[in-house]
Chains A and B, each alone.
Chain A
Amino acid sequence: MLYRESGQFKTSYKADMAIFPIRQDRWGVIAVLILAVVIVPLGASEHVIVGYLTPFLIWSIAAIGLNLLTGYAGQLSLGHGAFMAVGAYSAYNLSIRVPDLPLLGVFIIAGLITAAFGVLVGSPSLRIKGFYLAVATLAAQFFTEWVFATFPWFVGGAMSMVIDTPAMTLFGYPIVSSLDNYFLVLGFLIVMTLLAKNLVRSEIGRAWMAIRDMDVAAEVIGIRPLYTKLSAFAVSSFFAGIAGALYAFCYVKSVDFTAFDLFVSLKVLFMVILGGMGSILGSFLGAAFIVILPILLNVVAHELTGGQVSANLITNIEHMIFGGLIVYFLIVEPHGLARMWMTAKEKMRLWPFPH
């Protein structure tokens, strides 16, 4: 009843090609935007913004990036932690070594550097496929960890490997409070989501999907595999690089390569798979799930045990539950949370008169 597109006629090509063709979707998006921009900053506590929302938004960017690569272009990557690390370190070095560069320039150039790195890592994808490629991208993961651990140049010659990020100013406005950081991340997220959503609706997005579905067939109908695969890697690592830079600058406020290890790569992959491959909305749902779940488990565990059981045991049991829940979700809905949402929408469309 509420969610039904009957009566919404498209009278122009423009309306037909709109990013959200259904009116209810448009309202929904506007409602979410109002929630994120107006209500959350007014209502949410400092703790919620710093601890939950900012990381959720940053991980969403990373998850969208990997979803473009894995969900749309069908190339499996276990190196997104490395891409995030490259983004974070590039942003740090740019802001230290080129002091005149404005903040947005720092982030965008850091993203572009990561994109170049991503193309390099992705270049074997022309020859290597499937899990062989996944393991090959692991090489990037370990290589970057080693590079950042070995060469002090990347941290400006500092002896300590963990360094604080410099202060940020955006158009003369200093970004200090947690709310400032939240808005900066949110701004990036909105622009990049729009970018991703439009990319996948455009020629290049269709080329990615063709390559994903069957790369030989795609090649036969005239899609260039080299350009298509590498552009997917470039765009995906651009997203990951910006996410990594934001993670370092706006969330942990320090640059540290140990924060971007293999398990970060796996975490982003989980967001994509649990959220739903080939769905931008799924990336958000997956990121929310993976960010919130461990915090929730932690809170519940501490509530239940009342601090009487050793922290070590609790951590291990949390790991068990986390792993178990992931397997459970994969069994219940292998297509991810986005598919659940689709099913719900179908139901709503017929409600209250299902066949």
Chain B
Amino acid sequence: MNEFVFVMEVLIAGLLSGVMYSLVALGFVLIFKASGVFNFAQGAMVLFAALTFARFLEMGINFWLAAAIALVIMMVMAIVIERVMLRPLVAQPVIILFMATIGLNYFLEGMAQAVWDSQVHALELGIEDVPWEWVMDTTGMLVSLFDVWAAVICGVLVLVLAFFFQKGRIGRALRAVADDNQAAMSVGIPLQMIWAIVWATAGIVALVAGALWGQRLGVQFSISLVALKALPVLILGGFNSIAGAIIGGLIIGASEKLAEVYLGPIIGGGIEAWFAYFIAMLFLMIRPHGLFGEELIERV
């Protein structure tokens, strides 16, 4: 029985940490869906958002006001990115856009640390990273309350995004653009505006992810590397599926934690650096477009 409780504990911790990966992966998916751009700079956006938020909090500004300021900054940034970088690159091959986002990654990383600084900043969201007492008393499992909150926030965010994508004029336009850029443009949907909206949304997701990861790891450069953890989630779930990002995150999180506990001691520690990729590759062998990714039908 004790063994079972332990396995469950590891599993739940894994699932919850998977949700944190999903949050970052979500930012990738949003942009890929709408513009077909694989945005390598998502990690830098997470860093920039978290750093902005943390520094405003340190100035003694009210929590919600600081969040609002960071939000506005991320939106402005999205518009600037669209104007300066995406607009001139319209209709270029995807690899060029991909490389441009790597350039953007360098730029944002540099800017985040030049405007603010490269020290480690603590970020307090008012959620304590302690075991949830209720669960501990009833089942004897140690489940971090912070992780549960993160999962709840992520759930809410996904619901809001799903609603945003399903309803209203903008939602319809977003789905049309996601389906086919050129067809959407030909029926008069302003592509540029939609892109700006999507990048702004990805910026907001980056802010949420950055805040949660920031409390966990401290806001510093290494937070941008979280994006690399989200990539296997992304290919497992499929580049253009929001549900895929969530389920991929859960699978990766759970299997990674289980592997760390059971496989780690056998083949040497530190396997979390690549194990997620390994899992994702296994899935890709069977489903080359990820679990929920759109399948490309190739015609000659």
* Residue ranges of A at the interface with B (Cβ–Cβ < 8 Å): 70, 76, 124, 127-132, 134-136, 138-139, 142-143, 145-146, 149-151, 214-217, 220, 262, 266, 269-270, 273-274, 277, 312-313, 315-327, 330-331, 334
Contact A217:B300 (CB < 8 A) given known A139-B278, A316-B110: yes
Partner of B103, one of A131, A136, A326: A326
Query: Are A327 and B103 interface neighbours, CB within 8 A?
Result: yes
Asked if A150 meets B270 with Cβ closer than 8 Å, knowing A132-B290, A135-B234, A138-B231, the reply is: yes
Chain B residues with CB under 8 Å of chain A are: 38, 84-85, 88-89, 92-96, 98-100, 102-111, 113-114, 117-118, 228, 231-232, 234-235, 239, 268-271, 273-274, 277-278, 280-281, 284-285, 288-290, 293, 296, 298-300
Docked CA distance A316–B48 (Å): 13
Instruction: Please state if A319 and B109 are interface contacts (CB–CB under 8 Å).
Output: yes
Instruction: Give chain B residues whose Cβ lies under 8 Å from the Cβ of A326.
Output: 99-100, 102-103, 106
In the complex, are the beta carbons of A331 and B89 less than 8 A apart?
Answer: yes
Across the interface, name the chain A residue whose C-beta is closest to B101: A327
A146 touches B89 (CB 8 A): no
Shortest A227–chain B CB gap in Å is: 20
Contacting residues, chain B, for A128 (C-beta < 8 A): 284-285, 288
Q: Min CB distance, A309 to chain B, in Å?
A: 10
B92 (CB) vs chain A CBs: closest residue: A334
Q: Which residues of B contact A127 (CB under 8 A)?
A: 284-285, 288
A139 to B84, CA, bound (A): 33
9 A-B pairs in the complex with CB atoms less than 8 angstroms apart: A127-B284, A129-B288, A135-B280, A143-B274, A143-B278, A316-B111, A316-B118, A327-B100, A330-B89
For residue A336, give the distance in angstroms from its CB to the closest CB of chain B. Answer: 10
Distance of A36 Cα from B134 Cα, bound (Å): 74
* Contact status A330-B284, CB under 8 Å: no
Q: A149-B270, A334-B92 in contact; A318/B38 too (CB < 8 A)?
A: no
Which residues of A are found within 8 Å of B284, using beta-carbon distances? 124, 127-128, 132, 136
B280 contacts across to A, CB distance below 8 A: 135-136, 139
Contact pick for B285, options A70, A124, A266, CB 8 Å: A124
Q: Which residue of A lies closest to B40 (CB)?
A: A266
CA distance A34 to B280 in the complex (A): 50
The CA-CA distance from A325 to B98 in the complex, in Å, is: 15
| Beta-carbon nearest neighbor of B41 in chain A | A323
Which residues of the partner chain A approach B117 to less than 8 Å between Cβ atoms?
A: 312
- What residue in chain B is nearest A274 (Cβ atoms)? B99
CB distance from B101 to the nearest CB of A (A): 9
- What's the dominant secondary structure at chain B's contact region? helix
Please, which residues of chain B bring their CB within 8 A of the CB of A315?
Answer: 110
In angstroms, how far is the closest chain A Cβ from the Cβ of B227?
11
Set A70, A132, A312: member contacting B239, Cβ < 8 A: A132
B277 interface neighbour in A130, A139, A151, A330, Cβ under 8 Å: A139
User: A327–B41 Cα gap in the complex (Å)?
Assistant: 12
Residues of chain B with a CB closer than 8 A to A146's CB = 270-271, 273-274
Using known A-B contacts A217-B300, A313-B114, A330-B100, determine if residue A322 contacts B95 with beta carbons closer than 8 Å: no
Q: Is the pair B278, A132 in contact by a Cβ cutoff of 8 Å?
A: no
Q: Which of A132, A150, A215, A269 has the most chain B CB within a 10 Å cutoff?
A: A132
Please name the residue on chain A nearest to B115 by beta carbon: A316
In the complex, besides A129-B288, A327-B107, 16 extra interface pairs with C-beta distance below 8 angstroms are: A131-B94, A132-B293, A136-B284, A139-B274, A139-B278, A142-B228, A142-B277, A143-B274, A145-B273, A220-B300, A262-B228, A270-B102, A273-B96, A323-B105, A324-B107, A326-B106
Would A273 and B106 count as touching, CB distance under 8 A? no
What are the 6 tightest A-B residue pairs by CB atom distance, in nearest-first order? A319-B110, A323-B106, A323-B107, A139-B277, A326-B103, A320-B110
Give A214 to B296 CA distance when docked, in angstroms: 13
- The complex places the Cα of A319 from the Cα of B94 at a distance, in Å, of 23
> If the complex has contacts A132-B235, A135-B235, A317-B114, are A323 and B104 also in contact, measured as CB distance less than 8 A?
yes
Q: Shortest CB–CB separation between residue A296 and chain B, in angstroms? A: 16
Q: Are A319's CB and B274's CB within 8 A?
A: no
CA distance in complex: A315, B113 (Å): 10
Residue numbers in B under 8 Å from A151 (CB-CB): 268
What is the chain B residue whose CB lies nearest that of A332?
B88
With known contacts A323-B104, A326-B103, A317–B110 Cβ distance under 8 A:
yes
Nearest-neighbor residue (CB-CB) of A267 within chain B: B102
Alpha-carbon distance A262/B38, docked complex (angstroms): 17
Cβ contacts under 8 Å, A325 to chain B: 103
Nearest CB on A from B113, distance (A): 5
Among A132, A142, A320, contact of B273 (Cβ-Cβ < 8 Å): A142
Least CB distance, B234 to chain A, in whole angstroms: 7
Do the beta carbons of A323 and B110 come within 8 Å of each other? yes
| Beta-carbon contact of A136 and B300 below 8 Å | no
Q: Which residues of A contact B270 (CB under 8 A)?
A: 146, 149-150
Partner of B85, one of A149, A150, A277, A331: A331
How far, in angstroms, from A341 to B85 measured CA to CA in the complex? Answer: 24
Task: Give Cα A129–Cα B290 distance, bound, in whole angstroms.
Answer: 11
Per the bound structure, the CA–CA distance linking A4 and B102 in Å amounts to 39
CB neighbours (8 Å) of A215 from chain B are 298
Instruction: Give the distance in Å from the alpha carbon of A58 to the alpha carbon of B15 in the complex.
Output: 45
Q: A293 to chain B: closest CB distance in Å? A: 11
Query: Taking the nearest CB of chain A, how far is it from the CB of B230, in angstroms?
Result: 10
In the assembled complex, the Cα of A274 lies from the Cα of B109 at a distance in Å of 21
Residues of A contacting B103 in the complex (Cβ-Cβ under 8 angstroms):
322-327, 330
Q: How far is the CA of A217 from the CA of B103 in the complex (A)?
A: 33
Contacting pair A316 B235 (CB below 8 A): no
Chain A nearest Cβ from B134, distance in angstroms? 38
Distance, CA A230 to CA B270, complexed state (A): 30
B118: A residues at CB distance < 8 A? 312, 316
* Docked complex Cα distance between A34 and B9 (Å): 69
Q: Select the residue from B99, B118, B289, B296 with max chain A CB neighbours within 10 A.
A: B99
- Which among B94, B109, B114, B288 is the interface contact of A132 at CB below 8 angstroms? B288
